[in-house]
Each structure stands twice: as structure tokens, then as C-alpha cells.
Structure 1
Amino acid sequence: MVDVLPLVEARLSTALGAPDARAAVTFLGTDRIEVLRFRDSDQEGAVVRYATLGMSAHPMTDPTAMLADPVKGPRAELVLTVRAGLAETDKVLRALAVLAASPQVEGVVVAPGASLDVGDPLWPGAPFSSVLVGEPGGLVEDLELDAPMDPVRFLPLLPMTANEAAWKRVHGAQALQERWLTKGTDLRDPARKSVPLD
């Protein structure tokens, strides 16, 4: 069977450039998860992107399924983008590895619109402990694999404050994203305040 991870890393490097740092985390009973860091500059200033590598090694399995299919099923990696130099965002590595390991540990299927919570600030002093999983295909294109394997999707993570996460549970992911858009929220700001929700 094809080793997916070298292909995933090549796709990330093609889209984001060469990583300038990487860290590996291993949880008991799971495969190793790496988090790669990419530095970039856009029109508004420097950003740093963190991408997981390892989550897509196995397909995610519906927790209600009687038997896990070792080949078919959704595959994904997570990508977080924040403005550089405004917070200790490099400390997010462990939180990202925890989220990337959740399909193996908890049997969850991570998909757009889902909320993921690590229970602690994403980095020291962060106003966020949870993220909204965004739609793939923008920053890093899906990686097609040989049939019958599903493509690897690169899912952007959008940090949410506790108030936003609670509001999203009531009104849904689409409504929260529309609220962010309407209010011009800078989702890359690692110290941003909650969007007005009244």
C-alpha cells in the first residue's frame, strides 16, 4: 500500500514552501504526528502556518461502523494560519497534534463545520481553546490518491473564542462564518477579541 505521508509533505511544500521547523508528538497507542511550520508574507504582513503531518496516514472511520476499513474513508490534515510575532503561537504544536490524533484516539471524523476543543488555550494567553474546521481547497489543494483511497483534504482551522463556540453550537458554523465576514474579523489575529454576537 502507498505511503501517503511523503506525498502529503510534498503537497504542503509545493503550496507553502519549505518548512522552517518541525516537531513530532506521539500519544500512547497512536502513530506519530508531526507539525510543520511555514513562514510566509502576504500583503498585510508576515504570517506563520502550522500543518499537521500524520493524520492522513489512515482513513478516518465512522465511530458507529462495525469494522474499520483500512483503505477507504476520508483523510485529512489540519492547517492553522496566524499573524507572526504577536503571540507565542509556536506553543500550539501540541494542541494541533492532539487534534490531529483525535480520529485515532476518539474515533471521530473531522469534517468542515465541526468544532474541535482542546480544553486549554491553544497557546499561552490565547483567547481560544477551540477551532472551527473550515472548507478545504483554498490554500492547499486536495491530494488525489490512487483508487479506492479517498483524497487527502487540507482543512483550515479557524480559532474560536468560548462565546463564539457557544454561539456556533446554537446557530451553526455557516452563521458564525457569515458573522465573521460581516464584521470584517481578522481570523489570523492570535489575540483578537470575540466578534459581536448580539
Structure 2
Amino acid sequence: MSTAAWSTDAVAAHAAAAIGVDPQRASVTFLGAEPIDVLRFAGAGVSDGAASDGGGSRLVFVTAGASRHPMADPADLNPAPVRGPRAELVVRLTVTAPDEQLRNLHRSMAMLAATPMVEGLVLGADALVDLGTPLWDGAPFTAVLLDGDDLEPMPLPEPADPVVFLRAVPITANEAAWVRLRGAPALREAWTEADIDPADPRRVAATLGG
């Protein structure tokens, strides 16, 4: 597959077509890694697959750059250069003020998206990725729990695998510890029982039993 077959512009166009609005775009570069773009979508056309109660504005952030290369286990001494899983991350939030409490979220998303390149992580549903620092200024959330997202995979020319989109749900340090102990389904069950909306950036952490 030629480099022309993949670009951050292609990811942006795919996401914009699905979401229905044009994004704002920021690029983050890390030493020794290729740039990661973060796309910010806001507007009435944004949907996260959940019923809207009209109580806030929907914001969707999508990375573009993590899928440049297929993800591979670092223990694999001969990773396939073209075949293999490719992914981008999506954060969906419902906010009362579009920019409230979200400063530097784009940088955290770029850091999360760069983990396959920098740390050799293979991102997938139920994976926990912990930065250990607030995802945005003043946020109580320091990690994300990955799940499937409503954005359809973006096909690439064969033999490359399509780019899948994984929803990155912000979680607290205590919730991250719970995932390590009990697993992702247990945390999602706790959210459901407590009627917690994980897309609410002001939400409280789940109360987790022993």
C-alpha cells in the first residue's frame, strides 16, 4: 500500500462525512513520533448513538494519525508492515459550555493515540490506557476505557485492515483500579446501576464496592 493510500485528511473526511459537520483541527507532535491530529466536531449534526435530553451540546473529538501503521505486539520480531489492526480514538462529551473544562484535551488524546507507536500498545475494546495525569485541565479523569464506537470503520486498499474507531471514555484513577481488579464490564455495570452518564465531563465517579 502506498503512502498516498492513507492520510490524516482521509480520516478527517471519513469522520466528517459520518458526523455531518466540519471539524476544527489541531496537530500535536512528540519527539521521535509522527504527528497526531485531533479533530473537534461540534454542532447539531453530532450524534453519539445515545438519546439526547437537550441538556447540553455534543462534542466529538477524533484522532487522525494513530492508524498510519498497523499495531503490533512488541514481542513480535517480524511484524507485518501492512496487515494488522489500525485504530483511531474518539471521545464523546456532552457539555453545557463548549470549551468548559476541556483545555488540553486534544494533547491528551494525541498522547493516547501515540501509545501504539511509542509504547507498543495494541488498542482494542475493553483496553485501559492510563496517562496518570488529568485528561484536561482540572479534570478528575486520568485514564480512558476503550469501547467500540458508532463511527464505521474506514476501508483501506487490500491487504491493509480497515481503520476502526474506538471510543475512549474518560475514567478516574479509582475507576481505573476497579477495571484492573474486576474488568471493564463491572465498571460499565456500576455506571448503569448508578445512572451515570460517562459522556458527562462533570459526572461523579462510580461508587465501587469491595
TM-score, length of structure 2 as denominator length: 0.88
Are 1:70 and 2:90 matched, yes or no? no
Residue 121 (1) aligns with residue 124 (2): no
AA matched with 1:194? A
Aligned residue pairs: how many? 196
Q: What runs of 5+ residues in structure 2 fail to find an aligned partner?
A: 45-51
Structure 1 unpaired stretches of 5+: none
Indicate yes or no: 2:19 matched with 1:16. yes
- Match for residue 41 of structure 2? 38
Partner of 2:169: 158
* 1:112 aligned to which of 107, 112, 125: 125
Indicate if the aligned counterparts of 2:128 and 2:145 stay in contact, CA closer than 8 A. Answer: yes
2:103–2:137 contact (8 Å) kept in structure 1: no
Distance, in Å, in 2 between the alignment partners of 1:20 and 1:83 is: 17
Letter aligned with residue 70 of structure 2: P
Q: 184-193 vs 86-95, which deviates more?
A: 86-95
User: Structure 1, residues 39-84: CA drift from partner, whole Å, max 9, x if none?
Assistant: 0344433111111011111111111100232201100100001123
Partner of 2:48: none
**Does residue 1:53 correspond to 2:75, yes or no?**
no
Match of 2:32 among 13, 29, 51: 29
Q: For the residues of structure 2 that align with 1:179 and 1:11, how far apart are their CA atoms?
A: 34
Find the residue that maps to 2:70 and give its secondary structure: coil
Q: TM-score, normalised by structure 1?
A: 0.93
Indicate conservation of the 8 Å contact 1:35/1:51, yes or no.
yes
- Partners of 1:47 and 1:83 within 8 A in 2: yes
- 1:90 CA drift (Å): 3.9
2:116 corresponds in structure 1 to 103
Find the residue that maps to 1:134 and give its secondary structure: strand
Q: Is the 8 A contact 1:78 1:100 kept in 2?
A: yes
Map Cα deviations across residues 131-181 of structure 1 (whole Å, 9 max, x no partner): 100123x2x111122221111111001111111111111110111112212
Map 1:148-187; keep pairs closer than 5 Å: 148-187=159-198
Between the aligned partners of 2:204 and 2:112, the Cα distance in structure 1 is 23
In 2, distance between residues paired with 1:49 and 1:79?
Answer: 7
Q: 1:48 is matched by which residue type in structure 2? A: L
State the secondary structure of the residue aligned to 1:89: coil
Distance in 2 between residues matched to 1:19 and 1:125, nearest whole Å: 28
Structure-2 residue corresponding to 1:81? 92
Q: How large is the Cα RMSD of the aligned pairs? A: 1.5
SS in 1 for 2:178: helix
After superposing the two structures, state which structure 1 stretch, 52-61 or 176-185, moved more: 176-185
Aligned to 2:145: 132
Partner Cα distance (1:16, 1:90) in 2: 22
**Displaced runs of 4 or more, over 4 A:** none
Equivalent position amino acid for 1:89 in 2: L
